[in-house]
């Protein structure tokens, strides 16, 4: 089925997904989230793809969950809904790295979507926030949990309770984004980073992602043990032999499992 709310493209070994409801500033409705999940899983399963970039428009990465769609919902509608519980979780099942390339507004669910990605690269025009409190609700896709981990409790409280927006410079200072680039360079920078990742050995890329994510789930000692086991296991790959041999022979590695 063709997608209606996203554009899907490939650039070399990178899968590119563009959120595409420009009139609604990429407000995230059920259909869009279904399509996003489907496209992410398809790229994750595609042997020709080593990393994924999600981006939006110049004006908005995404201005949040679709308020028009949610406005009339009752408690039981939300409780029973597959929305949020099902299609918002899909991105967490993706094993390849996902980069959010954010320009303009990343608010509410848009900020939460960016935080579900592995790396956030921001244009200098980017503005992040969790303004749900203005609507009489709170973040519902992980914002109250991921934001304090990303930017500290103090700043998360500030953003969630006052609804103020954070510009790209503050987001970088606070640790929410890994780099800020001029808006006209955003997609090129994100694709270049993704291309670099996609050139490495996929098992080590996926294990690095998995191990870093463990840091947010388990106590330090368990995380370190997990890392050690995974580190050991990579010595069973041909790509470890190739990577180290290439270094010693002063040549570029030819990774087999990409």
The answer to whether residue 106 forms part of the interface with ligand HXC (CB under 6 A) is no
Residue 118's nearest CA partner among 30, 191, 209 is: 209
Concerning whether 132 is annotated as a catalytic residue, the answer is yes
Whichever of 37 and 131 has its CB closer to ligand HXC, that residue is 131
Residue 237 Cβ, how far from ligand HXC at the closest point, in Å?
Answer: 38
Binding piece for ligand HXC, criterion CB under 6 A, among 6-14, 43-51, 139-147, 172-180:
139-147
The catalytic residue among 132, 143, 190, 193 is: 132
The answer to whether residue 128 forms part of the interface with ligand HXC (CB under 6 A) is no
The answer to whether residue 140 forms part of the interface with ligand HXC (CB under 6 A) is yes
Beta bridge partners of 7: 18
Tokens representing 233 are: 């296991």
> What are the DSSP calls for the chain, one per residue?
---SSEEEEEETTEEEEEE--GGGTT-B-HHHHHHHHHHHHHHHH-TT--EEEEE--SSEEE--B-HHHHTT--HHHHHH-STTTTTTTGGGG--S-EEEEE-SEEETHHHHHHHHSSEEEEETT-EEE-GGGGGT----SSHHHHHHHHH-HHHHHHHHHH---EEHHHHHHHTS-SEEE-GGGHHHHHHHHHHHHHHS-HHHHHHHHHHHHHTTTS-HHHHHHHHHHHHHHHTTSHHHHHHHHHHHTTS----S--
The answer to whether residue 91 forms part of the interface with ligand HXC (CB under 6 A) is no
The answer to whether residue 56 forms part of the interface with ligand HXC (CB under 6 A) is no
Q: Which of 65, 100, 119, 122 binds ligand HXC (CB under 6 A)?
A: 65
Q: Which of 15, 50, 56, 108 binds ligand HXC (CB under 6 A)?
A: 108
Residue 144 Cβ, how far from ligand HXC at the closest point, in Å?
Answer: 11
Tokens representing 99 are: 């980069």
Q: How many residues does the chain have?
A: 258
Binding piece for ligand HXC, criterion CB under 6 A, among 24-32, 72-80, 201-209, 231-239:
24-32
Binding piece for ligand HXC, criterion CB under 6 A, among 20-28, 212-220, 229-237, 241-249:
20-28
Residue 190 Cβ, how far from ligand HXC at the closest point, in Å?
Answer: 22
Q: Which of 41, 84, 211, 230 binds ligand HXC (CB under 6 A)?
A: 84
Residues forming the site for ligand HXC (CB under 6 A):
24-25, 27, 63-68, 84, 88, 105, 107-109, 131-132, 135, 139-141
Which residues belong to the active site? 65, 109, 112, 132
């Amino acid at each position: 089925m063709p997608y209606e709310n996203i554009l899907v493209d490939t650039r070399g070994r990178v899968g590119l997904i563009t959120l595409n409801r420009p009139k609604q500033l990429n407000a995230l409705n059920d259909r869009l989230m279904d399509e996003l999940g489907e496209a992410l899983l398809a790229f994750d399963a595609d042997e020709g793809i080593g990393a994924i970039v999600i981006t939006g428009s110049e004006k908005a990465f995404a201005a949040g969950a679709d308020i028009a769609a949610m406005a009339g919902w009752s408690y039981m509608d939300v409780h029973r809904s597959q929305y949020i519980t099902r299609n918002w979780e899909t991105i967490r099942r993706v094993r390849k790295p996902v980069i959010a390339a954010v320009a303009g507004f990343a608010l509410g669910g848009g900020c939460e979507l960016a935080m579900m990605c592995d790396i956030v690269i921001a244009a200098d025009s980017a503005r992040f926030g969790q303004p749900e409190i203005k609507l009489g609700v709170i973040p519902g896709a992980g914002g109250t949990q991921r934001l304090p981990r990303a930017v500290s409790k103090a700043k998360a409280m500030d953003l969630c309770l006052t609804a103020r927006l954070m510009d790209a410079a503050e987001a970088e200072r606070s640790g929410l984004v890994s780099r800020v680039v001029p808006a006209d360079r955003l997609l090129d920078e994100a694709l270049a980073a993704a291309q670099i990742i996609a050139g490495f050995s996929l098992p080590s890329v996926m294990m690095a992602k998995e191990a870093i994510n463990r840091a947010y789930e388990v106590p330090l000692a368990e995380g370190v043990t997990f890392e050690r086991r995974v580190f050991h296991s990579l010595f069973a790959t041909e790509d470890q032999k190739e990577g180290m041999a290439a270094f010693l022979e002063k040549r570029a590695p030819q990774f087999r499992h990409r």
